[in-house]
Structure formats: C-alpha cells, structure tokens
Structure 1
C-alpha cells in the first residue's frame, strides 16, 4: 500500500480493513478487472480507492500535474456521487489528488471549467457524463480505469444505454471495476461484454447478508400502519433514523405527521431540488434532524452517521430493494435495526421478500403505547445522571428543592418534565397479523316455540325475526335458531327471555297476522333432511358405440365424385357470342342517322341563341368571318362544339 494512503487511513482511525477492502487489494488482483459483490455499507468506496492506487499512481507516491482524467467513477445518484468524491478526496489527499464531479442538478458551465483545468479523478452520474462526452468537454483518452458503483441500481434506473455509451468511448486498455450489492443476469451480461477476464470477488458478508442488522417484522392492523411508525420511532429512540415509503405522496404525508408530533424530521424525494436535498442531509449529519423520510431512489447511496434504525413504512417491491434500504444502517461494523411494518394483507409478501433475501426476521407485534412508556422509564432509570455526583453549580438548586418539596413531589415533577419532552405514543388496535378469528359464542339454555304457518304460507326467517322482536319485546340476541317447515315454523328463544316473550304476546299467544304461537316441551323433531341421490357419472363419449335412442341413424348418401368427360369436344371459340358493343356517343349517333337519311344532322357550329340578341349576332358574324357555319336560330348554346371557349360557358 502507498505510504500516502496508509497515512490517510491511520489519520481516519482505520486499524483493520473490512473483508471487501482486503479482497480487492490482494497483490494478485493488481491490474485485473473485478466484478465485486458486496453488501451496502461494507466499505467498498475505500476498497476501490485502494485498489485503483497502483493503476493511477504507478511507482510514484503522488500525482503529477492534473490534465485529462485518469479514472472515472460512475454512481447512480447525485448524493452517492458527491459522497464518493468526499471519500476519495481524503483517501488521496496526501497524494495531491485533484477531484472533479459531473452530476445532474449542478451548473454544467462550472463543471466544464473544472474539467478544462484538469483533474485526476472524475466522479459522475451516467446521464451528465454522457452529455459531457457528446459536447466534447471531457477527454477520456488518458483514462486508465472505470469504476461503476452500485451497478445493479444504475441498471434498474434505466442507465444501461448511458453506461454502454461511456464504456464504448473509454480506451480499450483500461481497468473496469464493477461493484454491486447483487449480481443479477443483466450485470453478468454487462461484465462479459465490457470486462476482460474479470475476477469475481465475493466476500463472506454476502453469504450472510447484513450480519450486523437485526430484522423485526411487526404486525399491525390495516388502519394503524402510520401510527405504528410513530411507536417504532418512540420505542427505539435512535439518534438517527430513516423511514422508507414507496411514493412521494406518502413521504410528504408522513413528514407532515411526524413534524406535527414533535419529531425533528426532514424528507428526501425526487421533487426536491439539489439545494434542498443537500440541506436535508446536512441537517441529519449535524444532528439538527433525527428522522429522515425518503423514497428508495432518493436515499440510494447516502451515508448518515449514527443511523441505527431503518423503518419500512411500506414494504419494498423486491428483496434487493429491502437489502439496499436496510444497508443504510449497520455500516462499518456498527449495529443497526431494520423494522418492517406488516399489515395482515402484506403478510405473505413480507415472508416472500425475507425468504428471497435469505434473512431471518423476528416476528411480533408493533410496540404498544404501554411498551413505549415502559421503554421510556427504562431509559430514564438507566441514565448516568443518577450516578454522577452533584456539581458545585447545582448544589444550591438541589438544596432549594430538597428543602421546599418532599421526595415524592420532586420525583413526580421530574417524571412529568421527562414525559413532556417526548411525543405521546399511539394506541394501536389489538388486531394484528396473527389475530385468530373469534369463535361464535354458544347460545345457551333455550325454549322452542311453534308458529302456525310455514313455507306454504310464505314464511321466511328474515320476516319472522323482526315480527317476533316487535310482538314479543325481544332483541335479535334473544332469538336463536329459526326453522321453517312446510306448514309450521319453529323459533328458539333464550330461556331468560321466555317469560317476557309470553307476557308480551298475551293470553291469546298470537303474533302479527293472527298466527298462533305455542310453547313446546323440547326441541322439535324436524326429521333427517332427505339425502339427494347422487347423480350417476356421465359415460365417456364413444363415437363407435351404438346409439341407445330409438331413432335409427340416418344413412348419409355417398359423395359423388365429379365425372370428367374425356371425349368431350373442344370449345369452338368461333361460336362464342360477340362482345358487347360500345354505346355510340350522341354526336356519332346523329352522324349515323344523317348518313342513313332518317334525320337531318344538327349543325356543330357555334349556336347563336336568340336571333335578336346583339351578342349572338356578333358571334354569328365572327363565325361567318372564320368560315364556320352559323348556328341554328334560337338554338341553345352547346358546350364543347367548334369555337367554344371556356369563358363563354353559361
């Protein structure tokens, strides 16, 4: 390892490398293409920074003057890209590295100026890096290595075309390192196409996913899902927590509700600007906010300090998303908790996701209000303040309190003040994911009554029940079974309500319509319900079996094959009828008639219309001057004749 990098790690407090960092820095892997699968939070950013050092620095300890970039680091989101830039900056700080970033949401002109000044390492998102390549504002000719961080997420977000474009424009003689939490088929195809003899690196942490994270699947009623989030946050009281939802609408609703309940909360979603996202993350880092409500994409790759709790307010769509969500906690050897809020309808989905992720979750109920209060009291009594000696600046006030109030009053006041600082927990319904269905309670001792009139008189239980309740001063809980027979109806009445029922009916013992009611000594003998004879099985269809009906099968006449006359006489086309003659045009018909002498032909010259018309006289004179025959006096003007002009059309 380079001395400059070793000094930077020692300054940061690194004593041992994580499994993925040890795996990628083995001497035999120097210069090789790597396909690394490592869980989120395993320290892979520092891992590929150490793995790139021999490729970028060579034998030198520091970088030369920055010109064209030597390495490209591609990340799916802006937050992850900026976080990677910060990590690489301190790792290579003593090596005089010059960093540049190309991420969406930033001013592209500033990025072009930074690239023009020169940079050793460029951290970028796929879309923005492709824009710079197409505009010619970045020179990839000197690139020695390309690293794709969270490669599976970039493919899920639809960056496959951008990645292929970038890799095709990068030099062929380069190292290509791909880091991914999971290695689906698409990642394997991309590695096979753009990597050369890639070495597959699988750490032990991948085989036992998230060993430092405790998973809890918490059942809750369908209507108490958001109340459960409040109780979970209150139960653990983590210094930093993140709540995941699937849509921006749910993120906004949860953020508003948690803010109203006194939580210091921020939100991360796609609708926020880069400036708003940066302020939200900074509030989580410096402790001004303790809860972050986010969507999957917005929170991908972010590293929040002291993040001990991840709450899945809505279940993710697949197990890979569950691993990415939960990977925000339990990082770099720290312990974390991942709580899944499971409603009854989501029980099977939760079991399926946990099974595919190879995770063993502890199933139970969501912490109730009593459990949250008990946890508060446990934390209160476990505070170190009870064991610390009284300070000098506290002695005067302590003496005043002990002299003015008795110990019980002081304890009660402290308890009230402690609870005022906390948000009150929510009361949750008892129906959880494993709540069994309650069996029907037994009706108990009863007496049967017979009512005249049954099915033949149109009696039905839905009509008898309200009639008996009204006439006998009963409720529906006082009436048990109702049995309708052909001529009689039988009703079961609770024993404690029999005297009230009979007193309400009176001595006549009749109900609405004059139907007579009589008390029975025991249960009526309704007899066994006749069993319907089973339907005989339908025989299978056999086309060759003889018919069982009396009608004989009709004999089908054999099909006659068409006979071809071999000695038929060929067709004489001379005997064929003459083709249909074309109908002669009017002009041809008139000429033919004129030739036969049957009718004088009409002159084809320009007609003159009315003989006294000045216009027609002028036309006739013009026709005579041209040697054309004049039209008949009084004839109508005919379009299309000799001397006809379009402007003369009427």
Structure 2
C-alpha cells in the first residue's frame, strides 16, 4: 500500500521521485480536512508548502478537467518575494505531471511579463500582496474563477503592514471560495482576519511543530564584544559546513561582515533588504548550487526561505525575540538532517541571551569559541580522512607518482600535500578567553581622570545604553570593563573611557570610524557632564555653550533698560507727503 494513496497519482509519483517516504504531521492533518476553510498553525520547515499544495490540488485538478479556461483557480499569497518564488518552485515539481500551469506575480519583477503570462492562461498564481493587488486593479488578474485562496505566513504579512492589501484581495475573490490560512503563530490580528473572511473554519495546530528543532544542536559562545567577527570566522572554519548562514542585526553589519569574509577567502554572499530582487535571487541561487558556501543575511531570510542541506546557522547578533531565534535556527535541521546552531554572545549580553533561550525553550550548551589550536586539529583530521587519499591511482596518476618518488622523498611529497591543502583555507583568528565574571553585566563604573567622548545619537533616536555599549566596544576595540558612565542627552550621548585605554581607543576610532556608518564618535576631552546639561542654562547640542539669561521684569513693574518687546514693536512712521497746492503769488 502506497503512503500517498490519498492524493492524485500524478502527485504521488512526484513525491516518490522527490524522495518523500511519508507525510509530515501538518500534511496529514490538512489532507484529513479536504473541504471547508482551515486555520493552520505550523512552524516554518514543517512541510506546510507541500501541505497546502496537496490541499488545493483536488479542487484545481477537477475544475480544470471539467472546463478548459484561462482564469486562475487558486491564489497563493506570501509575504516576501523570496518566499513566493520558493513556493512557485515547489509547485512546479509537485504539479509537473498534472499539466497545471503555475505563475508568479511579485514585486521587483517585470510586470509586463507577468501580464503576458496571465493572458496566456494559468491555473495557480503565487504572489506578494502589493503586486497581486496591482494586477487585480488593472484587470490583468481575473479572480472570478478562484476556487481557493491561501495566505502563507499570515502573521508576518500582518506584521509587515499588508492588512489593507489582503482585505482587498479577499474581497475581490468569490464569496464561495475556500480560504486557507497558514501562520507560525496565531495572534489576535490573525484570528480577527480569519473570523471576518473565513466561514466555520477548522483550526489545526500541529503539536509537534517544534520537533524539527530536535535535530539541531545549539551552542553559545561568550566572546569579548570587539571579537565578535573573529568568533564568526573561527566558527565557519571549525565546522567547515558546505552551506552556512550568518544572521546580523542590521544591513550595515551584513555589508561589513560579508566583505570581511570575502576578503579573508570565504565564498560568501550577502542578503538584505537593500539589494535588488535580481541580486537577492542571484545570492540565493549561489548558495543552492554550491558556488557560495556562506550567506550573511538580515532577518529578511529568517522566514520562508528554503536553503537545502544547510548545516550551520550562526547568530552573529542576538535576535530581538525567541520567535525570531527559532525562525532563524529553523533554516537547518530540516528533512531529517542534523544541523548546528551557534550563538555568538558579547560578554555584556549573556543575560539577554539566556532570556531568549528560556523563551524559545531550547537546550543551549555554553562553550568557548573555537581557538586556533582546535581549528588546526580539526583541519588535520580532515586532511587525514581526505577523499584524495583513498582509492588506487589510475595509469596517469601512477606514472606521475613514480616520477615524484624518484625526484623527491616521501616526506617532501607529504609536506607539499599538507601545504597545498592549507593554502586554500582562510586564516583563523586568535580569540581571547573571556572569564566567567567578565561575561556578567556590570554596574556603571566611574574612572578617576576618565576621558569623555560623544556619539551622535540620543533620546530623539531612542538610544539606550544596552544598544550603545556593543557599538562603542566594537568601534574602539575595547571590552565592557573599559567603558564607564554613559549619559544620554537629547541628540547625542556622552560616555567615559578608562584613561588606560584612551590612546588605543581613539587611534582605532580615528583610523576606522564607528562600526555604524550613520554614527560618529568625537573626543570632548576632560569635560565632566552632569544633569544641568539638559536644563535651560546649557544647549543640548553644545555642552560648553550657554543659552544666556532671560530678562526679568523688576518688582516696580517697569521694563528694564534696553528691553524691547519685539512682538509689539512698531515700525517707524513713513514721512508725510506734502499736498500739492496753489503756488504762492510773487
């Protein structure tokens, strides 16, 4: 008995050819409900793309067999271009034997090509909310024949502000359609949308939705704040994964780290929101086909993007919440494969990392970052077990090997082999050993004769000490213990540096600048700030410049000498013109 007997034979053949042996829990749950609306809670990586593909297949195949037409029968709405294109790729192999036509409509692509494809006729359309709404408004996308509408990652679409677009699309679809909503979480916004646009929807919550994280081994590495990038390099060298992804918090960090990895010799690509669609597609394809081994990305890649056989996930920056940690980590450990997730933690962020881990309910092992000796030992093990050393030489190799043995000794040949092997490896970095007491956050310190600096962000930019401290440490190549008092003003922040570290700190700032391109750090000398800086006698943008005193009216009620009320000051009267009269008689 086939495991896929509940689906169309063409789909069963495609699943067998793809290597599927059985349905995942979410796929089985969706197939059990072959009619009516569904509200499905399932995590990324649980097989939900194939699940809603199977869910729409029966209605689409039957409807297309009954009557040939050009209008689409199913519509899939995804939050991002990458996820929409990924769904299209999945559907292309799933429905290849059925003859169904699949097309995509996403932002960043040529809309004219999409309109031509829609005019030729398609059965299933996958797209992003904004582009789908544009096609519907222009009349190029006909929604009158839709049998099923699927909202993939509904919670993320609402978080990204697509609610109005989603409501427009659902209002344009026929009232008797089938509506399927898939979401990693079910916040109030998702349930409210489901209540409005679904009819007697059945809820499916896959209790084993976090089971795919059981195949992931989690490690955390406490490092000095200024050695975060060095730790990332050593992790990539130590694990030597065929495909890895490194997550950063900002676009600037992605650009900086990807450039450094490329200069070091890693085959790395960047993936962030500032790239064009073609650049992002090229980066993903480079990872998929093996031309690149490391992808440095922001959280734009945390949801929905499928990178097959991804063995290592590195969190260079801590995510903002446990859900993001799980979504990032879920890029590995998929389809029964084992994966490794490494979290790089600055010494001042250990408690934040512990809170994230508790919220995500994962087991984390705290170990030091890989050292030079550990990486060298791992390289030697790989060399001794290299595939180049196995097997018998062929005729051409045997002749050359004999010539080498005649000219050189076996030890010389082995040494040359070792040198050639190591010449292709990027150099590792020295990592400081962070003591346990230094990994705990410290209270604000004050230094005797400390030197004050100013960074160009303050209350107006929502600056916080816990956000500024890593930037200061990484910019100046210092640790948390070298930073004293941090005092945030309206449009800038003052911070104190240990006098023993000032020379090295200022030299690195002068040479490299701030790690955040939008910020600048200035030296203000020995000025000691206090709370009066934010009062009327000091300008917040210039701590040395006084505002001056206001004039006060004396007790006798008279205005002081020299006082002028500009609001009531009158302009000097214009000179009167002489009237023209009769000339005087002589």
The residue number in structure 2 matching 1:18 is 24
Aligned to 2:230: 227
Structure 1's unaligned 5+ residue stretches are 438-461, 463-607, 615-650
CA distance, structure 1, for counterparts of residue 324 and residue 316 of structure 2: 14
The answer (yes or no) to whether the contact 1:97–1:120 under 8 Å persists in 2 is yes
**1:175 shift after superposition:** 1.4
**3-state SS, counterpart of residue 108 of structure 2:** coil
Note the 1:353-432 alignment, pairs <5 A. 353-431=356-434
Structure 1 411/39 Cα, relative in aligned 2: closer, same or farther at 3 Å? same
Give 3-state SS (helix, strand or coil) of 2:209's partner: helix
| CA–CA distance in structure 2, aligned partners of residues 275 and 45 of structure 1 | 23
Per the TM alignment, residue 11 of structure 1 is displaced from its structure 2 partner at its CA by 2.3
TM-score, normalisation: structure 2: 0.71
After the TM superposition, which residues 549-560 of structure 1 pair with which residues of structure 2 at under 5 Å, given as runs? Answer: none
Aligned to 1:210: 213
Are 1:35 and 2:12 an aligned pair? no
Q: What residue is the counterpart of 1:104 in the other structure?
A: 107
Do the aligned partners of 1:218 and 1:341 also contact (CA within 8 Å) in 2?
yes
**1:57 corresponding residue in structure 2:** 61
2:75–2:124 Cα contact (<8 Å) kept: yes
Paired residue secondary structure (1:293): strand
Between the aligned partners of 2:67 and 2:217, the Cα distance in structure 1 is 47
Residue 427 of structure 1 and its aligned partner are, at CA, apart by: 0.1
Matches within 5 A, 1:83-232: 83-208=86-211, 210-232=213-235
1:59 and 1:74 map into 2 onto residues whose CA distance is 21
Q: Which residue of 2 is the match for residue 592 of structure 1?
A: none
Change (3 A) 1:610 1:78: closer
Q: List structure 1 runs of 4+ shifted beyond 6 angstroms.
A: 608-614
1:338 aligned onto 2:345? no
Give 1:252 shift: 0.7
Rg larger for: 1
Cα drift, residue 353 of structure 1: 1.3
In 1: Cα distance, 2:385 partner to 2:327 partner: 34
> Deviation string for 1:194-217 (max 9, x for gaps)?
222222222243254612222111
> Residue 302 of structure 2 contacts residue 324 of structure 2 at CA under 8 Å; is this kept in 1?
no
2:43–2:210 Cα contact (<8 Å) kept: no
Alignment partner of 1:205: what SS? coil
**Which 10-residue stretch deviates more, 377-386 or 90-99?**
377-386
Conserved in 1, the CA contact under 8 Å of 2:144 and 2:174? Answer: yes
State whether residues 371 and 430 of structure 2, in contact with CA within 8 Å, keep that contact through their aligned partners in structure 1.
yes
Secondary structure, aligned partner of 1:365: coil
* Partners of 2:302 and 2:327 within 8 A in 1: no
1:170-212 deviation digits (Å, cap 9, x = unpaired):
2221211111222233222222222222222222432546122
**Distance between the aligned counterparts of 1:98 and 1:373, measured in 2?**
52
1:491-570 aligned at under 5 Å gives the runs: none
How many pairs were matched up? Answer: 443
Where does residue 290 of structure 1 map in the other structure? 293
Residues of 1 paired with 2:92 and 2:583: CA distance? Answer: 111
Q: Name the SS for the 1:40 alignment partner.
A: coil
Residue 71 of structure 2 is aligned with which of 65, 68, 72?
68
Tell me the equivalent position of 1:544.
none
Indicate the SS of the match to 1:304: coil
Moved more, 68-77 or 51-60: 51-60
Q: Deviations over 1:44-91 (max 9, x none)?
A: 11111111122222387x585342211110111111111111111221
Conserved? CA contact 2:44–2:303, under 8 Å: no
**Displacement of 1:131:** 1.5
Structure 1 residue matching 2:281: 3-state secondary structure: helix
Q: If the length of structure 1 is used for normalisation, what is the TM-score?
A: 0.65
Cα pair 2:148 2:177 within 8 Å, conserved = yes
What does residue 4 of structure 1 align with? 10
- Quickly say closer, same or farther: Cα 1:239–1:219, change in 2 above 3 A: same
Q: Does 1:266 align with 2:269?
A: yes
Cα RMSD between the aligned structures?
A: 2.4
**Using a 3 Å threshold, how does the CA distance of structure 1 residues 125 and 611 change in structure 2: closer, same or farther?**
closer
SS at match of 1:278: helix
Shift of 1:156: 2.0
1:304 corresponds to 2:307: yes
Q: Distance in 2 between matches of 1:385 and 1:136?
A: 60
What is the CA–CA distance in structure 2 between the aligned matches of 1:308 and 1:293, rounded to whole Å? 14
CA 611–167 in structure 1, closer or farther in 2 if over 3 Å, else same: closer
Question: Are the aligned partners of 1:216 and 1:361 in contact in 2 as well (CA < 8 Å)?
Answer: yes
Change (3 A) 1:66 1:358: farther
